[in-house]
Amino acid sequence: MSADKKSEAGGLPARRASLLILSSVLRKRRALDVAIAEAFAEVTLDERDSGFARAIASETLRRLGILDALIRNFVRKAPLPHKAGPTLEILLAGACEVLFIKTAPHAAVDAANRLAQEDAKAVHFKPLINAVLRRVTREGAAVLETLDIGRLALPDWMWVRLTAHYGEETARAIAQAHLVRPPLDLVLKTEDESHLRFANGERLSRRCLRLSDAGRVEEIPGYKDGRWWVQDFAASLPVQLLGEIKGRKVIDLCAAPGGKTAQLAASRGDVVAVDVSQERLDVLRSNLARLKLSTEIIAADARDWRPKAPVPFVLLDAPCTATGTMRRHPELPWIKSAADITALNSLQSELLDAAAEMTCNGGRLVYAVCSLEPEEGLEQVESFLARCAAFARDPLRPDEVPEASFISPQGDLRTLPHYWGAKGGMDGFYAARLRRRA
């Protein structure tokens, strides 16, 4: 059902849920997936309403900076939450519906008024909400044309960092990629899945397929049979840097939820998956069970755990700010800050040292992060190599990646969200391949 028809049919429960989601993300800095789960536990919705609520919340967050600037064009001073309750969230979501989701304006404005009426604080700002959204309906499109959309797509802290590290042109390209809803990437368990029929599918590599307008994941052919798993194309590249692993021992550190673990297992490596979170490991076990893949799974802090003997291959997909994944997680720029980068530096360094101890002489260690921040990627590796003379960089060759532009001047993997923009972009990933001297 289109957003227009959905709105005219009512849609108020969906909008209630979207308001809960937005308030949770913006006020409590909850991850979007967590906020959605909490809202859906509180508001009972059918499948179509659930989809509508997700669309409102995710698109509002994807365009949050733009919508905020637009609203401020009509309301110079935003209502304070402790006095106005969710008034600002109602305004942002209502404007998003009108301008980007293309809901019928009268339906969006009426729903916003009803949401305000239901809240003890927002009800006092109902006249303001009504007036602002009616102006958005009349003047919003013209105001958007006057705004610097690329600059407003990202918060100040991220814009400053991206322009400093990559230059303004690249920063704008990354911002533009953030505004586009990403397609769905599937990694096939085997290269030969020719019996599966995917609508709107494009092959990105021998085992990676990209779908546009994929619909519900559970309804895609091959899901129940465990023929594939969801994984962004860029996220599939670090595993490939290990090389041939068939029949050989591989340690996958910080493994959950298991996309890279599945890659390793499907390549017939003898895999040990290690993660500190039992909850995330439960997800990994569930994913591997559906895929009919098996690995040894260990719940432990990788900084403390060690194998009985060093192994030839170690993959460390380290915890990070995940800023490279903001296409798929539009809330990230708004719930993270520059302080989060510093907070993770020590953990990444300690994990890298631990991974080095697990790597045998002549073995390969791949360090990866889904981050755009040099402190979490290149600088971590440079610091590690400076303090650990036993390791040297093993530079990537052009024939190991889809395009030579994916290789940094240092010989590492570096993808950015706007790469392959015509195909739908990709996550921003950094990975370095290191070798312990024999």
* Tokens standing for residue 11: 């849609």
Residues paired with residue 251 on neighbouring β-strands, in sequence order: 272, 314
Give the number of C-alpha atoms closer than 13 A to the C-alpha of residue 251, restricted to the C-beta side: 30
- Residue 85's contacts (CB-CB under 8 Å, 6 or more residues apart) are 119, 120, 121, 122
Scan for tokens 């499948």, then name that residue: 47
To the query of whether residue 370 is one of the catalytic residues in this protein, the response is yes
Q: What is the DSSP letter of 407?
A: B
d(CA 283, CA 145): 44
User: Coil, helix or strand for 311?
Assistant: strand
d(CA 277, CA 271): 18
- Other CB atoms within 10 A of residue 353 CB: 13
Task: Tell how strand 208-211 and strand 270-275 pair up.
Answer: unpaired
Cβ atoms of residues 254 and 316 within 8 Å: yes
From the candidates 254, 360, 370, 388, give the one annotated as an active-site residue. 370
d(CA 372, CA 377): 8
Q: Show which residues are catalytic.
A: 370
